[in-house]
Amino acid sequence: MRRYHHLGIPTSVPRPDEVYLEQFKVFTSGYEASPYGIEWMRFEAGSPLPELVKTVPHVAFEVDDLARELEGHQLLIAPNSPSPGVTVAFIVHNGAPVELLHIERTADAGDTAVDSSGAARRGGGSAGEGR
């Protein structure tokens, strides 16, 4: 099953409360405060991420079975784990990047949401769910 998680939008404008992801040379912001899961992404020169991710907005979905969701699609970013219990991958669909996230849930985790940095936060479910 796919559930909307967030919309990542490339920008060149610095924004308040940016979080820097050194391994990707990108600043992210906005997800925590957005009731619609809007996430701004500002890339530094030399970011290793694909040009498509750096220049075209992407939609992200939380999925139950990441391997199944990847079948038959062009892989843009291979599955990786930005934080414990979170695996993400990007595919290309209809010329656009799509992020797929699998979040391991435990009985005590409740409803945890994760932004593109892999930072988990409790409460409110995934962005776009019950917000």
Superfamily of domain 2-122: 2,3-Dihydroxybiphenyl 1,2-Dioxygenase, domain 1 (3.10.180.10)
Which string of DSSP letters, residue by residue, matches the chain?
A: -EEEEEEEEEESS--TT-EEEGGGTEEEESGGG-TT-EEEEEEPTT--S-HHHHHS-EEEEEES-HHHHHTTSEEEEEEEEEETTEEEEEEEETTEEEEEEEE---TTT-SEEE-TT--EEESS-STTS--
Render the burial of 93-110: b for 16+ CB within 10 Å, e for the rest. Answer: eeeebbbbbbbeeeeeee
Task: Please indicate whether residue 47 or residue 121 has the higher confidence score (pLDDT).
Answer: 47
Position 125 pLDDT exceeds 60: no
Position 49 pLDDT exceeds 60: yes
* pLDDT over 70 percentage in the chain: 81
**What's residue 115's pLDDT?**
57
- Domain ranges in the chain are 2-122
Residues 19, 98: Cα–Cα separation, whole Å: 21
- Write the pLDDT tens digit of every residue in 51-74: 999 999 999 999 999 999 999 999
- Write the pLDDT tens digit of every residue in 15-45: 999 999 999 999 999 998 999 999 999 999 9
Question: Whole-model pTM?
Answer: 0.81
**What's residue 83's pLDDT?**
83
Position 117 pLDDT exceeds 80: no
